[in-house]
Structure formats: C-alpha cells, structure tokens
Structure 1
C-alpha cells in the first residue's frame, strides 16, 4: 500500500520521542522487514518508569488496530511536542510486547503486517 515506509518512519519518530522524553541516552533499534510483516525492536535505558506508566504504554500500544483511522492520522505523528502519541502508533500496529527491567531499561517490540 502507498506510504508504507513513511508510516514506519513515523512510528520510529514517535518511539524515539518517547525514549528521549524518558531521558534515555543509549538507544538500539532493529527493523526487520519481511514479506508480510515488519518487526521493530526498540531498546533503551529509560529508568524510573513506574508500574502505572508501563501499564499506560502497554494499553496505548495494544489497542485494536483501525486501518481507516490509521490512514487519516499517520501523517500527524511527530507534528507537535506532545510525546504521548503512542496511542496513534497503537492504531498502526498489530501487536506490541514490552519488557522493562528497572536497572536496564525498556524493550518494546512492535509487529505490523505489511500492506501491499
């Protein structure tokens, strides 16, 4: 589908904004684009994320995918200084897993079916 790579870039932009807003200074991103799916694994050294914040992040990223809303909103990601646009990212992905270790940081893996 049209704009698929740009949508991935916008997702990365928002994840990086999240990381920087949580004062991370060591960030690793791995992107695997396969025939039918893109997998983005993101690790950073964000510390002091409390249980409530982690639940909020997981809830925002694992909302039901809504392709019709994605088509309208994807271009708006990163257009302002509001760092909690993760809910829009949640609309654009199929699944997210989150692993947090207080002394190490957070690892987020995003799964997105490729639109052809």
Structure 2
C-alpha cells in the first residue's frame, strides 16, 4: 500500500500542475483510499483552458492502463518541472473530465 500511496500522490501532483497551467489558483482536492482503489478529485475555476485541452486530457486519462510500464512511468510523473501528463493514462484505470461555467472537475481512479 505504501507504493500505491506514493503513486497516487504523484498522480495528484501532475493534475495540480495541469490546473495551475490552466489558470487556476483555487483548487479543491479530495482523495479517497480503501484497500482496493484510490480516487482523486480536483475541482476549481479555470479561465485559460480550451475545449481541445479538455478533450486531450479526457483521452489521456481514459486510455488503457499499462501495467507492464508502470514501474518506469510512475517515477517520472509529478516530480520535475516538466509536465508528464501524457503518462497518466498508464497509471489510472479511468477518469472523468467536466468543464462547465469555468469550473473544471477531474476525477481519476486507480485500482490496486
């Protein structure tokens, strides 16, 4: 479970970086853990985000999880000054992206 918590923290860091780049400085974060999965939800007002960015993020977080490459990928995300958002799909099982009235909501789920 220790590695799973570390992976979830890195996923959350990468999503926070995405929010900050999208012009958001007020982010609500919720993380729920149990013995089978972790769920991260970020929500806040974003004023500098395009429909294309939202569609790309949705596509990334809903791409198939890559268990075989996970050990390599999870060390890369959330730990440097460069965005590794494109690697999130390899680490999460599924996600949701919603954007309405400048409110962005991202939810990702990782099963253990």
TM-score (norm 2): 0.90
| Partners of 2:46 and 2:61 in 1: CA distance | 17
User: How far did residue 19 of structure 1 move?
Assistant: 0.8
User: Which structure 1 residue ranges, 5 or more long, are not aligned?
Assistant: none
Deviations 1:41-73 (A, max 9, x none): 110211242221111111111111001111111
1:75 aligned counterpart, secondary structure: coil
Task: Determine the C-alpha separation between the residues in 2 that align with 1:79 and 1:29.
Answer: 18
How many Å apart are 1:2 and its aligned residue? 5.8
Alignment length (residue pairs): 112
Give structure 2 stretches of 5+ with no counterpart.
none
Query: How much is the aligned-residue C-alpha RMSD, in angstroms?
Result: 1.5
Match of 2:105 in 1: 107
Structure 1 stretches of 4+ moved >6 Å: none
Kept in 1, the 8 Å contact 2:67–2:91? The answer is: yes
Deviates more, 1:71-80 or 1:7-16: 71-80
| In 2, Cα distance between equivalents of 1:35 and 1:77 | 23
